[in-house]
Structure 1
Amino acid sequence: MGNKDIGQFSNESSRCTFFNSDSDDYRCMVILTVKRATATFSLIGCIVMLFVIWLLRRYHSLAQKMILCLTVAAFFDSIAYVMGEEYPEGRLCIFQAWWLMYFDWSALAWVCLITLNLYLNLVKEMRTDHFEILYHGLAWGVPLLMSCLPLFGGFYGLAGAWCWITDSHVAWRFGIWYFPLFTLIFLMICCYARIIYVANKRMQSWFGTFNPERERRKVTLAEEIRPLKWYPSVYLLVSLFPLINRLHNAWYPRDPVFSLTLLHVLSAPLHGLANAFVFGLDRDTWGQLSLSGIQLALRSRLCDRTQIREYHPGPVRYMPADEAAFTDSDDDTNVLFFSPDMALKDRAP
């Protein structure tokens, strides 16, 4: 996101000012094309992920709801990258910059909270369902604060292929995004290292006679950890090249490197697509996305209106055989209830 600082491309001057060349310079055209393509792929990835969540009803447990919220944040973040190519200084540019800051922070917050929730469930063995409102407050409230600070300070403006914090406020770029981003990524990696260690130790410590519930829990632990552990890696990969490019630009502001700039715009908008790939690592999800599985799920979502309700049986009184007063005409052999007091001849064969 603070990855948003590639060279300025001005329509008013018909110049690609980042490379100090004409607007039809192939380098500028490549940067804008790559930025548009990666943002579009990321947006499509989010849409597909939201469709799969709806189709397979993956929104009931707290962990599933958190992944849904992460997808929503990444979806709106991708929209910001495809809003347009460049803007003149003004309200629209400031709005895009605020939008990017808010939803980048929101997506990062949800990744951190998913990690925290798994840590509390597995390592601390705590139930966290009652934290749902708190999670929403943090994931939507903290980004609002972080995105409004540059807004109130007047630090938003043109910052290359998209609007963000301007070139004259480099300290704000690192202080409000890069430093917190990589600090949180480091903490998440530490949390997942602890989670994996505890999970492996706990699974190896389970011994004795066969217990189906215990075996099911072992499989569940492995399935829960497998996809979620990749979310910090996603943010590390898509943020590494933007950080390198921004560091280079901070030291050599008038000497940009085309390859670094290209890698910058290639990776910065990819949060949504990367999250979709991580979501797809769930084997159970892939198992249900076969052609027949999709057809059954669509029928269930669109056609099946059957309602399953809880059955409440009435009181039942068991009678000894000598009180039942059966006659020879009672030829029904379907015994619905069994009592030890029933005579053998009265039971079903």
Structure 2
Amino acid sequence: MGDEHPLQMNNTSSSRCTFFNTEPDDYRCDVILKVKRATGTFSIVACSFMLFAIWLLRRSNSLAQKMIRSLTVAALFDSVAYVMGESHPEGSLCNFQAWWLTYFDWAALMWVCLITFNLYLNLVREIRTEHYKIPYHVVAWGVPLLMSTLPLMAGYYGPAGAWCWITDNHVGWRFGIWYIPLFSLIILMTCCYSRIICVANERMRSWLGTFNPERERRKISLAEEIRPLKWYPSVYLLVSIFPLINRLHNAAYPEDPVFFLTLLHVLSAPLHGLANALVFGKDTWSQLSITGIKMAIQSRLCDSTTIGEYHATNRLVEQLILVEQTGRFRNNNIHNL
């Protein structure tokens, strides 16, 4: 009885494994599928926690913060595609997974590009972008709809390794729809961030001299805004390089997949959501101390008052008016006596 269960599990594993020419006792499919689900789950948890932190700490006031929130939502739904069950056979469910994966991969990428573009307009071109909110959403959700629907309409989706995507018979579409635009945009973002950092350093050097509170506040705000974003092209490149290498090998040897490359592929591709949470939520995590969480929860759930900015000048004027009124009241009482 003890030997029957492992054999049954291995047979079930081989029946659902369509990306290796396996024997009944091959363990590789189970490893690939478990790693895929684990990394996808890590990303889902990270994105969910970041959305909770954004809500808890009220980090959605500025346009840049709202864009990071939208990016986190896209990354969360992208991670869901990697835990949508096992390796699906060709059919409507497989097409749905492929479309979902392509759409939210593109949505996350577009939000990263738009965050970079927005920072470039604010810092380098000195253009206010608050009124760009609707165009940003149209681009961020519209372009992925086009890029994910084209292969669906052409019938190019199907089993493509550990999940469903564009099949091995349409390699040109794989690179035209995703990999060529992806690495082109990574290069553009790298150049853009290089320009942003150069301009920011020039601004900070020009602000050296006599102490100015407003200037110091702008310097700190600028450094905090750029610090987490400047590393993102490198992070995105790291989580995309192994999928590219594996897809290049699949294109050259479609009938001979390599287990190690496939393992690196499923280990890194689902980590986009986790990478988003770590890079864009770095400053948010630093505020999540035990005391900070308690105060934020109390503010959110228990206190209905509105917290605004404290203006010392206005408070001083109110106190002077109160003193003057008190003095008049006393004088009137003395006069009546």
Matched residue, 2:304: 305
Provide the secondary structure at the position in 1 that maps to 2:158: strand
Identify the residue that residue 289 of structure 1 maps to in structure 2: 288
Alignment partners' CA distance in 1, 2:16 and 2:302: 56
- 1:209 corresponds to which residue? 210
Local SS of the residue matching 1:209: coil
Alpha-carbon contact 1:10-1:86 (below 8 Å) kept = no
1:150-169 equivalences in 2 (<5 Å): 150-169=151-170
- 1: CA distance between counterparts of 2:162 and 2:187? 29
Contact 1:16 1:23 in 2 (8 A): no
For 1:148, the equivalent position in structure 2 comes to 149
CA distance in 2, matches of 1:241, 1:114: 25
Call closer, same or farther: CA 1:39–1:308 in 2, change over 3 Å.
closer
SS in 1 for 2:84: coil
C-alpha separation in 2, matches of 1:298 and 1:127? 33
Q: Does 1:329 align with 2:328?
A: no
Deviation of the 1:130 alpha carbon: 0.6
Residue 169 of structure 2 aligns to a residue whose secondary structure is helix
Which structure is higher in helix share? 2
SS in 2 for 1:207: coil
The answer for the alignment partner of 1:272 in structure 2 is 273
Q: 1:76 is matched with which residue?
A: 77
Secondary structure (helix, strand or coil) at the match of 1:22 reads: coil
Q: Does 1:240 align with 2:245?
A: no
Distance in 1 (alpha carbons) for counterparts of 2:130 and 2:91: 44
Equivalent position of 2:181 in the other structure:
180
The residue type equivalent to 1:248 in the other structure is H
The count of residues paired between Structure 1 and Structure 2 equals 314
- The aligned counterpart of 1:85 is 86
d(CA) in 1 for partners of 2:11, 2:128:
53
Name the CA shift for 1:122/1:307 in 2 (closer, same or farther; >3 Å).
closer
Instruction: Return the alpha-carbon distance in structure 2 between the equivalents of residues 300 and 44 of structure 1.
Output: 24
Q: Deviations 1:144-173 (Å, cap 9, x if unpaired)?
A: 000110011010111122111111111100
User: Which of the two has higher C-alpha Rg?
Assistant: 1
Q: Aligned-pair RMSD on alpha carbons?
A: 2.7
How far 1:24 moved relative to its partner? 4.2
Distance 1:128 1:22, change over 3 A: same
Q: Structure 1 residue 123 and structure 2 residue 114: aligned?
A: no
Could you list the per-position Cα deviations for residues 179-226 of structure 1 after superposition, in whole angstroms to 9, with x for gaps in the alignment? 000000000000000000110011011233211000111111110000
In the other structure, the counterpart of 1:4 is none
Pair 229,124 (structure 1): closer, same or farther in 2 beyond 3 Å: same
Please state how far the C-alpha of 1:27 moved relative to its aligned partner.
1.5
**AA paired with 1:113?**
L
Distance in 1 of aligned mates of 2:17 and 2:57: 47
Q: How many angstroms apart in 2 are the aligned matches of 1:222 and 1:208?
A: 18
The residue type paired with residue 70 of structure 2 is: C
Please name the residue that 1:189 is paired with: 190
Q: Separation in 1 of the partners of 2:249 and 2:203?
A: 46
Asked whether the 8 Å contact 2:168–2:251 carries over to 1, the reply is no
SS in 2 for 1:104: helix
Q: Aligned residue for 1:199?
A: 200
Give the conservation status (yes or no) of the 8 Å contact 2:17–2:87: no
Q: Which amino acid aligns with 1:147?
A: S
Q: Which amino acid aligns with 2:15?
A: S
Superposition TM-score, scaled by structure 2 size: 0.87
**Tell me, what secondary structure is at the counterpart of 2:334?**
coil
Per-residue deviation, 1:258: 1.5
Matches within 5 A, 1:47-66: 47-66=48-67
| Normalised TM-score (structure 1) | 0.84
Which one-letter code corresponds to 2:295 in the other structure?
Answer: L
Q: Which amino acid aligns with 2:121?
A: L
CA contact (8 A) 2:14 2:29 kept: no
Check 1:325–1:80 CA distance in 2 against 1; reply closer, same or farther (3 A cut). Answer: closer
- AA of the residue aligned to 1:158: P
Given that residues 16 and 87 in structure 2 are in contact (C-alpha distance below 8 angstroms), is that contact kept between their aligned partners in structure 1? no
8 A contact 2:168–2:250 mirrored in 1: no
Q: String of CA shifts for 1:273-301, please: whole Å, max 9, x gaps.
A: 1111113322xx24421101100100111
**Paired-residue identity, %:** 73
Verify the 8 A CA contact 1:122 1:195 in the aligned structure 2.
Answer: yes
1:221 is aligned to 2:222: yes
Q: Deviations over 1:268-326 (max 9, x none)?
A: 111111111113322xx244211011001001111111246999x99x9xx9xxx9994
